[in-house]
């Protein structure tokens, strides 16, 4: 490649890199909306990392060994994290689904478990 060609190549690269950075910057970020004031069952860092183990482990204990603790209850997650507008943790901006969609995770949990919070006073 001639020096001139090389310079052109370098210039193209310099133009292309910010464009690439821009493109990746446009990937939709999960929209983490905290619908209720208060605190989670564990600090945020622990929740981000360990919530699957909390839930999956507890599911095993509950279903297979009949042990029930309510600290990491799935009902509890839904009750606190359901959206004020849809009442659900699912949907495009739903707390659980928006982050899972971003992370490429799919769950079957809500085929059986309620994805909506129970309204105060409503009959189950
Ligand atoms: C085929 C139906 C079914 C599916 C799918 C399912 N569960 Fe369950 N789960 C149950 C039943 C039945 C119980 C026991 C009854 C109860 O406690 O509500 C239970 C109980 C639980 C409990 C303890 C009760 C509570 O509310 O905390 C947790 C936690 C739980 N499941 C988590 C999960 C998670 C996480 C998934 C997805 C990875 C999942 N389940 C998928 C049927 C299901
Ligand atoms: C009492 C209400 C409440 C309950 C119950 C609850 N959360 Fe939270 N959660 C919060 C709040 C409030 C935050 C924001 C951080 C904070 O202040 O703790 C949060 C933060 C989180 C985060 C971090 C979000 C981020 O910014 O990345 C995850 C993940 C999470 N919760 C998942 C769960 C799961 C899974 C359960 C059920 C095992 C659950 N939460 C139960 C209130 C709750
Ligand atoms: C801040 C992002 C984020 C939020 C919010 C979030 N999750 Fe997750 N979740 C993840 C990621 C990432 C994984 C995959 C983690 C892995 O494979 O180690 C995951 C995995 C899971 C799994 C295990 C799936 C499996 O079959 O292995 C369960 C169960 C789960 N999430 C439940 C929930 C529930 C219920 C909520 C809402 C209360 C929720 N998550 C909110 C990011 C999130």
pTM: 0.85
C-alpha separations of 7 from 3, 14, 17, 22 in Å: 6, 10, 15, 23
What does residue 116 show for φ and ψ, rounded to 5 degrees?
-110, 145
Ligand 1 and 108: CB distance under 6 A: yes
Write the residue with the smallest CA distance to atom 13 of ligand 2.
40
| Cα 16 from Cα 33, distance rounded (Å) | 34
Write the residue with the smallest CA distance to atom 42 of ligand 2.
40
Backbone angle region of 80, left / alpha / beta, with phi > 0 → left and psi within -120 to 50 → alpha: alpha
Q: Could you report the per-residue pLDDT of 3-51, keeping only the tens digit for each?
A: 565 545 454 444 444 444 344 445 567 778 999 888 999 999 999 999 9
Write the residue with the smallest CA distance to atom 24 of ligand 1.
73
């Amino acid at each position: 490649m001639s020096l001139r060609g090389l310079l052109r190549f370098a210039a193209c690269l310099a133009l292309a890199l910010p464009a690439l950075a821009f493109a990746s910057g446009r990937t939709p970020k999960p929209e983490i909306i905290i619908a209720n004031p208060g605190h989670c069952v564990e600090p945020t860092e622990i929740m981000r990392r360990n919530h699957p183990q909390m839930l999956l482990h507890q599911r095993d204990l509950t279903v297979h060994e009949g042990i029930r603790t309510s600290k990491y209850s799935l009902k509890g997650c839904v009750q606190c994290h359901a959206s004020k507008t849809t009442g659900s943790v699912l949907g495009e901006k739903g707390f659980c689904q928006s982050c899972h969609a971003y992370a490429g995770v799919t769950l079957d949990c809500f085929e059986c478990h309620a994805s909506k919070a129970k309204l105060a006073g409503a009959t189950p």
